[in-house]
Amino acid sequence: MSGIMVLAEHRHGDLRDVSHEVLSAARNLAEKTGEQVEAVLLGQGCDEMAQRLAAQAHRVIHAEHPAFRDFNYETWQQALVRLVKGREPSIVMIPHTAFGTDLGPSLAVELGVGIVSDAIGFEPGPDGLKVTRGVYGGKLNAERFISTTPALVMVRQSHFKPDQPGLEGEVVNWDPGDVGSGLRTRFISLEEVPSTGIDITKADVVVGIGRGVKEEKNIGPIREFAEHIGAVLAGSRPVIDAGWLEKERQVGSSGKTVKPRVYIALGISGAFQHVAGMTGSDTIIAVNKDPHAPIFAVAHYGIVDDLHKVVPALREKLA
Amino acid sequence: MKIAVCLRRVPDTAEADVKVDGTGKGIVEDRLAFTINEADNYALEEALLLKEQRDAEVSLVSVGPKEADEVLRMGLAKGAAGAVRIDDKELQGSDGLALAEVLAAYFRKNPVDLVFTGCIAQDVEDSQVGPALAQLLGWPHTSYVVKLDCGDERMTVRRELEGGFLEVKDIARPAVVSIQTGGNTPRYASILGIKRARTKPLEALEPGAIDLDTSKAGEAGSRTRLERLYVPEVVSAAEMIEGDVSEKAGRLADILKEKGVS
Ligand SMILES: Cc1cc2nc3c(=O)[nH]c(=O)nc-3n(C[C@H](O)[C@H](O)[C@H](O)COP(=O)(O)OP(=O)(O)OC[C@H]3O[C@@H](n4cnc5c(N)ncnc54)[C@H](O)[C@@H]3O)c2cc1C
């Protein structure tokens, strides 16, 4: 039993970045364990993607099948159960995304193996794999030990650098057998959330507000401040969920990625799903009353204080 | 139609100082406030909306300590008909899949047509229980759902994908649907609702009462084990601006002006 198997994720005929990220996490781990990395690609019309994966894997298991035209965890699961049982990898890595988390837990149940979500670090040991992951909104890390073989891990998106090509793996065409029958769920379509014309991704300065603003009526002075300094107003997910700002203003993994010159985070804790959308900003300023807020780990400048006091004072200084 | 909603009691740690306890595997709880897991609150709302549209009964299930009764009462006050708490004293150390085993044992004894869960627990952040529960029951599942349209036998859901896309899917019942935040507006309990909740059934069950195979739950029955919790090392620390509010604002104004922002 050996080898690290990585499930590639693709959408709209193209590999998603996370596939390359997980492959490079697998490569790093494989160097420690002396194993090989095997990428798994299930799809239809994916020859070109298989070639690209081969630069990052010792082997690409490529299955073409009409049932793989659109993602459905049931078809993927049917194929992966067969593949994992046949090839007996020591570790299976899946992206921790809407695609991967829809598949991973039920796959683990069917294979009878242990699974850890949202992995950010790996330490192989003689009797299993130790996995590091964040908990409590990033305030703590947890180390979890997986005692089964294979160990199944879902790997955090936008965490590992997608580099490390340089391999020339062989592409193996694999016949997945009977897949796509007996399905109880059916893919209908992908919809793009309709745009209302707001675009926060082009802004030079962004003021991001989080749940720390507490109430919708507190947004007024912040909006005025943002306008005064020529910034665009954006928010964390809870602010959008509450309907205080439009969906197009959401920053993060399920929102937009912004890379402004200056990003000012007000009352945002710094959960990785938010950070994924703003960590590329040139200068990050965070105001948060909690000195332990994870946002201070990505900020360049930090103020521990009540944002409702800091914003008016700052507005005055910039009058 | 019988609908069940799985609710989890979680500490509200967004503004709190989260400290690892003496065992190295838990957190110091005495100064934390506890609440209903955020995504579960949206799941509950989805169930209540469905109840208002169709002839349906909503019940609640939580695996947790006595204190989880508070969360269940809140759910009853919002409109659920009854609640069950499976006591977790003997289930400590259960990982996501083991928790799914506990819930599966319960639903095998108490069948329903549709189970809602939140798509993630805000403390352990696993996103495992819903899909794993479905697999154990032999049902289909769907996760990150922000919109659900319920037909007589099947449902159409919209799942949120990264990058501003929704996946539209069709799914048969019985099923487990994991709800993402933001798709609805969770209601508050009314005074009348709170009053009524006092007389609604809230039952506590020991794992034995649901015929749980205990070799599949708890730390010993879990295929993953928590080794330790720790405060992550901060790699690039921010320059912290000190002083009173006016001094902090002054320094920040200077920084902004330096960057050409004012
Ligand atoms: C699949 C998935 C996708 C997600 N996608 C996104 C996404 O795209 N974007 C996103 O943002 N989140 C996303 N999330 C949610 C994410 O996990 C966090 O829950 C969210 O980012 C938290 O938002 P917040 O920081 O505003 O709120 P909280 O975490 O509640 O933090 C509020 C902060 O405000 C501070 N505060 C309170 N009062 C004050 C005050 N008066 N002055 C100063 N500070 C104050 C507190 O100390 C705290 O740090 C996603 C989650 C999931 C499961």
In a domain, B150, yes or no: yes
Q: CA angle B11-B12-B13, nearest 5°?
A: 100
Ligand 1 atom nearest the C-alpha of A251 is 9
Quote the CA–CA distance of A226 and A209 in Å, as a whole number.
Answer: 11
pLDDT at A105: 98
In a domain, B251, yes or no: no
Whether A140 and chain B come into contact, CB under 8 Å, resolves to yes
Provide the 10 A C-beta neighbour count for residue B82: 17
Asked if pLDDT for residue A163 goes beyond 80, the answer is no
Within chain B, how many helices (H) and strands (E) appear? 6, 13
pLDDT: is B93 or A127 the higher one? B93
Which chain A positions have a beta carbon within 8 Å of B237's beta carbon?
296-297
Q: pLDDT digits over A199-213, tens only?
A: 999 999 999 999 999
In which residue are the tokens 């944002």 written?
A: A307
Q: Beta strands B9-11 and B82-87: pairing type?
A: unpaired
What distance in Å separates residue B129's CA from the closest CA in chain A?
A: 8
Cα A266 to ligand 1 centre (Å)? 10
Report the CATH number at residue B30.
3.40.50.620
A30 phi/psi in degrees, rounded to 5: -65, -30
Which chain B positions have a beta carbon within 8 Å of A292's beta carbon?
17-18
Q: pLDDT digits over B71-116, tens only?
A: 999 999 999 999 999 999 999 999 999 999 999 999 999 999 999 9
Please state, rounded to an integer, the average pLDDT across all residues of chain A.
Answer: 96
Q: Beta strands B141-150 and B175-179: pairing type?
A: parallel
Domain that holds residue B162: 2-216
Which residues partner with A90 through β-bridges? none
In a domain, B182, yes or no: yes
Whether B173 contacts B208, CB under 8 Å = no
What distance in Å separates residue A162's CA from the closest CA in chain B?
A: 18
In a domain, B80, yes or no: yes
Whether A303 contacts A212, CB under 8 Å = no
Q: pLDDT digits over A88-121, tens only?
A: 999 999 999 999 999 999 999 999 999 999 999 9
> What value does the mean pLDDT take over residues A129-158?
97
Whether A32 contacts A172, CB under 8 Å = no
Q: Terminal CA-to-CA distance of chain B, rounded, Å? A: 59
DSSP class per residue in A84-128: HHHH--SEEEEEESHHHHHHHHHHHHHHT--EEEEEEEEEEETTE
Interface test with B, best of A80, A91, A101 (most B CBs within 10 A): A101
DSSP class per residue in A2-49: --EEEE--EETTEE-HHHHHHHHHHHHHHHHHT--EEEEEEESS-HHH
Diameter of chain B by CA atoms?
A: 67
> And the tokens for B111?
């069948």
Interface ipTM: 0.96
Quick one: what percent of chain B has pLDDT higher than 70? 100
What distance in Å separates residue A198's CA from the closest CA in chain B?
A: 13
Q: pLDDT digits over A211-252, tens only?
A: 999 999 999 999 999 999 999 999 999 999 999 999 999 999
Asked if pLDDT for residue A1 goes beyond 70, the answer is no
Whether B128 contacts B224, CB under 8 Å = no
Asked if pLDDT for residue B190 goes beyond 70, the answer is yes
Quick one: what percent of chain B has pLDDT higher than 90? 96
Which residues partner with B60 through β-bridges? B5, B83
Looking at chain B, which runs of residues are DSSP E strands? 2-6, 9-11, 34-36, 57-64, 82-87, 114-118, 141-150, 154-161, 165-172, 175-179, 202-205, 224-230, 239-240
What distance in Å separates residue B227's CA from the closest CA in chain A?
A: 5
DSSP class per residue in A256-304: B----SEEEEES----HHHHTTTTT-SEEEEEES-TT-GGGGT-SEEEE
Whether residue B229 and residue A300 make contact (CB cut-off 8 A), yes or no, is no
Quote the CA–CA distance of A88 and A213 in Å, as a whole number.
Answer: 51
Q: Quick one: B31 exposed, middle or buried, by C-beta within 10 A (0-12, 13-18, 19+)?
A: exposed
Interface test with B, best of A75, A110, A192, A241 (most B CBs within 10 A): A241
Helix, strand and coil percent figures for chain B, each rounded to 5: 30, 30, 40
Q: Least CB-CB distance to A241: which of B124, B156, B181? A: B181
Residues with CB under 6 A from ligand 1: A 137, 210-212, 236-238, 250-255, 267-269, 271, 273-274, 277, 287-290, 293, 306-308; B 14-15, 120
pLDDT at B237: 79
- Evaluate whether the domain defined by A4-173 bears CATH number 3.40.50.620: yes
Query: Which pLDDT band, with edges at 50, 70 and 90, does B262 fall under?
Result: confident
Peptide bond into A105 cis (omega under 30): no
Query: What fold characterizes domain A200-318?
Result: Rossmann fold (3.40.50)
What kind and span of H or E run contains B105?
Answer: helix B96-109
Q: Which residues of A276-285 are buried (b: 16+ CB within 10 A; e: fewer)?
A: bbbbebebbb
Q: For residue B187, give the chain A residue with the closest CA.
A: A242
Provide the 10 A C-beta neighbour count for residue B230: 13
Number of domain units in chain B: 1
Whether A190 contacts B168, CB under 8 Å = yes
Pocket test for ligand 1, best of A244, A274, A284, A314 (most atoms within 8 A of CB): A274
Looking at B53-112, which runs of residues are DSSP E strands? 57-64, 82-87
pLDDT at B212: 96
Asked if pLDDT for residue B234 goes beyond 90, the answer is no
What kind and span of H or E run contains A133?
Answer: strand A128-135
Whether A118 and chain B come into contact, CB under 8 Å, resolves to yes
Provide the 10 A C-beta neighbour count for residue A292: 18
Q: Which of residues 233-292 of A touch B (CB under 8 A)?
A: 237-238, 240-241, 243, 253-256, 261-262, 269, 283-286, 289-290, 292
Cα B160 to ligand 1 centre (Å)? 18
**Domain spans of chain A?**
4-173, 200-318
> Do the domains at A4-173 and A200-318 have one common CATH topology?
yes
Cα A247 to ligand 1 centre (Å)? 15
Q: Beta strands B57-64 and B2-6: pairing type?
A: parallel
In a domain, B249, yes or no: no
> And the tokens for A236?
């964390």
